[in-house]
Structure 1
C-alpha cells in the first residue's frame, strides 16, 4: 500500500484533508454541473424568494425592522426553506447537505437577511436537531421549521469569543432539583430581539461546560438593547443577561459537561456553510459591478472597455469559481459519507456529526477562503464604482460593510488558520493521514531535483502541476516545521498560518482543475472555465511560494535555511501566459451572461 492510498477509508471514501495526498482528479467530485433536479428546484425557489421578497425590502431591513425580518422568516418557512436540516419526523424535509448549502447561497444576496436566516436555521436550530432528546425535538423543531418560532445561539461572552470554553456564565441546580439557575451574560447574539428560543452555554457548578434551551419568557432572562454595527446593520444583535434565570431541568441540552461537543460541531458546520453563504453575495456584486461599468462613461467610453476594469472583473469571476468549486466539492464529501446509511435510522444524527467532523479541515478552509475572497471581490467592486461605491444609494456600499464580519464570526480567520494545519498534523500523528510519509517522498524528490508532472496533457496541465507543487510545498514545510519545533510547533503561529495559506491554494487549484475537466464536453475543455482557473493560478502560485519561504524563514537559520530555500527552486513552476487573452475570454463571457457565466443570481 502506497502512502496516498492511506488517505481513504475502508469504505473507499476520502478522509478529511485527503486532497493534500491524492493526485489532482484522481476521484470525481460534486460540482454544480452534477446537481440533481430536486437540488436545482430548491435553489431556484430560494433564489426567487431572495430576489422578490428580500432585495426589494433592503432599506427597511437596514433600518432594523425586526418585525419584517420575523415576517420574512415565516414566509420562508411556508415555502419549506427553514426545514431542510430538520428530520421529517419533526416537521422538516431532512434533505441532503448540498441542498442546505444551496439555500445558504441563495439567501446571501442581502447580508443582514443572510445572517438572520443562517442563525435561525443553523446555529439556532441544529443543536436541537443533533443533540436534543425526543421530547425537546417534538416541542421545538416543528415550530422552528415553519418560522412560528425563531431561534438564536448564545455562546460568546465579554471574555470568551474564539476561546469558547472560557465562558463565565454559571449554572447551578436549584434546591428542589427542578431548575438550572443561570447567572452571567452573553454578547453579540444574532436574532436576540425577536427570538423565542436560545441555545445557551453555561458552566454547571462553574466548571462543566453545558448546553441549555432557554425560552424568551424565562424568569431572570433579559434581552439588552440592539448593538449599532458597522455592517449587517439590519440584523438583530443584542446582549443577554441572566440573573437567577430559572431554566427547567428538562431543557438541559445534551450531557452535563459535554457542551463543547455541541459548540464545536455547530461551528464546523457553520464554517462549511459560510463558503456557500458568501457565494450569492459574490455573484450579485459581480453582476452589479459589471452593469455599473457598462453604464458609467469616462473619456467618452464605458469604463468596462478599459483593460484595468476588465482585469478586475475577470479576477472577481475567478474567485467565485474557486469558492464555488471548493464549497460544493466539500458538500459532496459530507453527503457521500452520509449516503451509505438510512437517514431515518436512529443513528443518523450521530453519523452526520461524524461526517461534519471528518471534513473539519475543509470546513475551516471554506470559512477562511470564502470570507477573504468575498472581501477581495467586494473591494474590487467598490473600486469599479469609484466615488459611487461610497454612496448608500448603491448596494455595493452596504455589501462592502456587510462582508467584513465574515472574517470574524464562526471562529476568526486566525483561529481557523491554526485549525487547518493543526488538524492535519494531529491526524498525521494519529496515523489517520500519511503526511509524514508523503513529506518524506517529497523531500527525496526535491533532493533529486524532481518536480510533479501532469497526468493529463491539456490546457490545464500547467495548473495541475501548480496544484501538485502547492501540495508539495505544504507537505515539505509542515515536515520541516514539525521536525524543528516538535510539540512546541503550535506556539509558532506565523509558521502554521503561512502553511495554511498554501494548503488552501492547493485545495482551490485541485478543485478548479478537477471540476473544469469533469465539465468537458466530448473531451473539449470550456475555455471560460480554463481561463478562470488559469487566472486564479497566476495569483496562487507565487503566493504559495512566498508563504512557504516565510514559514521556512521563521523555522530555520543559517546554512540549513539556505539549503531548504535552494531546494524549493525545484518547485518553481512558471508558464508564460497572455494576461489580456485570459482576461478577455472571461469578461466576454460575463458580458454575454450579464454576470457570473456559470450561474445567474
Structure 2
C-alpha cells in the first residue's frame, strides 16, 4: 500500500486525545451556510407536511405509502446529498447529510428507510464501484427511482459477520457467479431494487456483489414483527442459484471485508447523526407536554426534578450534536483532499478509514443519549406515555434498536480501544510518545486552583480525563501488546 500523506493534526483520527482543541478549526452547527440550512428546512417541511401526517398508514405498512414518500424524498434531492454530481447527486458531503438526517429521523422507521438507502445501501457503490457500475446504478439510487439495501448479517452470523455462509461459485465459463444463501435483518428488503450482498467465493474469500432484485433466484421472506421501526421494511433476503455477472463484483474478489467494515464506519456515523435528530424531537415533545400537563395546580415543567431531567438531557444532547458536526466537517475536509487508500481496487477515500474510531464513539454515545431521552420522555408522560395514543411510546420503541444495529454497542466498545492499539503498533498513532509526555507532566504536577469560570474548570477536567485515557491505554499496550 502506498504511504499516506501527513494530515493536519485536527484532521487526523483520534487526534482529539493528543492535543488541545483549537476552536477555530472546529465546525459547529451555528456555522451552517445558508444553502445547507435551506436543505435542512426542506427536509423539515417535507416531514411535517408529507410524512408525519401519514404516520398511521406508515406504521401499518399500508401498501405503497412508504415507497411513495421515499420517491418524494428523492424528488426533493434528500437522497442525493452525498452522491457525486456527475452521477446525478448533489456532492455535498457529511455536514449536509447531518442536517437532513436530523429531520428524517423524526419518524424512526422512515428515517431508517432513507438512511439505509443513502448510507450503507448506496455508499458501497459510490466509494468502491467501477465507472461502469456507477453509470448503471448511481443516478437511479440518487433520484429515488431505485431503493438500495445492504446484505451482510445472516441467521447464524450477526456480530461475527465474517462467519457468513452465503457462497459464490464462479461459472465454468467465467462469466458469472452463482450465489446461494440467506441474509437476515435486511432493512429495505421488501422494497429494494439493488442489494449489496456479501458472500464467500470458494467458501473463503469474502466478496461484495451488486445484486438486482430482478435477478432470477432472488426472493425475500415475510416482514419481521419488530418492537419498533414499524414503518420500515425488515426481511430476510434469500438467494437461490442467483446468476450475478462478473461485472457486478464490487471491488475485488476476496476484498469484501474492506468494503463491509469501511462502509460500516460511515453507517455508524449516520446512525449517530440520526440519533441526535430523534433525541431533539423527543425532547421537544417532552418539554411541550410538561408545559401543558397540570398537576397539583401547576404544569409539570414547574417542578425542579422535571427541569433537572430536561437540563441533563439537553447537556448530553449538546455534546452529541457538537461531536457529530465536528466529525462531519473533519470527514468532509479529508474527502476534499482526494486522497485514497489503495489496499483494494478501485482505491477508496481515506476518510472512510481515518475517522473509524470517532464514528464508533458517535454510534455508542449518540444512541445512548437517545435511549435516555426516549426513556425520560415516556417517564414525563406518565401513564399516557405507556399508551400508543401518545408519541412517547413509539419513540421509546424506535430508539431501542440503535444500540444493536451497525454493530452492537458492545462490539463498538471493543473496537474502539482495539483500533487505537492497532494504530499505535503500525505507527499511525503516537501512543507511547504521548504516554511518556503525560507521565512527565504527572511527575511535574502542581495543583491548579479552581477558576471562577465554570468553562475553565470543565476544560481542566477534560484535559485530565484525556491524560488518564492515554496513560491507561499505554499501560494496557505495554502489558497486553498484540493480544489487544
TM-score between the two structures when normalised by the length of structure 1: 0.76
- Please state how far the C-alpha of 1:134 moved relative to its aligned partner: 1.6
Q: Which residue of 1 aligns with 2:472?
A: 477
Taking the aligned partners of 1:271 and 1:452, their CA distance within structure 2 comes to 39
Answer yes or no: is the 8 Å Cα contact 1:198–1:216 preserved in 2: yes
Taking the aligned partners of 2:442 and 2:10, their CA distance within structure 1 comes to 30
- Please state how far the C-alpha of 1:352 moved relative to its aligned partner: 6.5
- Gaps (5+ residues) in structure 1? 1-7, 344-348, 491-601
Q: Are positions 1:48 and 2:45 aligned together?
A: yes
What are the superposed Cα offsets for residues 463-483 of structure 1, whole Å, 9 maximum, x if unpaired?
000110110111121122222
Q: State which of 21, 27, 30 in structure 1 corresponds to 2:27.
A: 30
Q: Are positions 1:300 and 2:297 aligned together?
A: yes
Q: Are positions 1:286 and 2:269 aligned together?
A: no
Find the residue that maps to 1:339 and give its secondary structure: helix
What are the superposed Cα offsets for residues 345-379 of structure 1, whole Å, 9 maximum, x if unpaired?
xxxx9786211210111111100001011001111
Show the 5 A alignment for 1:299-448: 299-341=296-338, 353-448=349-444
Taking the aligned partners of 2:184 and 2:121, their CA distance within structure 1 comes to 15
What are the superposed Cα offsets for residues 211-269 of structure 1, whole Å, 9 maximum, x if unpaired?
11111121111211110001112210000111211112221111111111111111000
- Please state how far the C-alpha of 1:449 moved relative to its aligned partner: 4.3
- Please state how far the C-alpha of 1:13 moved relative to its aligned partner: 4.8
Q: Are positions 1:270 and 2:267 aligned together?
A: yes
- Please state how far the C-alpha of 1:275 moved relative to its aligned partner: 1.6
Show the 5 A alignment for 1:484-503: 484-488=479-483, 490=484
Say if 1:160 and 1:79 are closer, same or farther in 2 by CA, change over 3 A.
same
Taking the aligned partners of 2:293 and 2:476, their CA distance within structure 1 comes to 51
What are the superposed Cα offsets for residues 386-411 of structure 1, whole Å, 9 maximum, x if unpaired?
11110101111001011010011111
Q: State which of 153, 168, 173 in structure 2 corresponds to 1:156.
A: 153
Q: State which of 103, 111, 114 in structure 1 corresponds to 2:111.
A: 114
Find the residue that maps to 2:268 and give its secondary structure: helix
Answer yes or no: is the 8 Å Cα contact 1:221–1:242 preserved in 2: yes
- Please state how far the C-alpha of 1:14 moved relative to its aligned partner: 3.0
- Superposition RMSD in Å: 2.1
Say if 1:340 and 1:219 are closer, same or farther in 2 by CA, change over 3 A.
closer
Q: Which residue of 2 aligns with 1:468?
A: 463
TM-score between the two structures when normalised by the length of structure 2: 0.94
Taking the aligned partners of 2:22 and 2:165, their CA distance within structure 1 comes to 48
More deviation, 304-313/84-93: 84-93
Q: Are positions 1:68 and 2:60 aligned together?
A: no
- Gaps (5+ residues) in structure 2? none
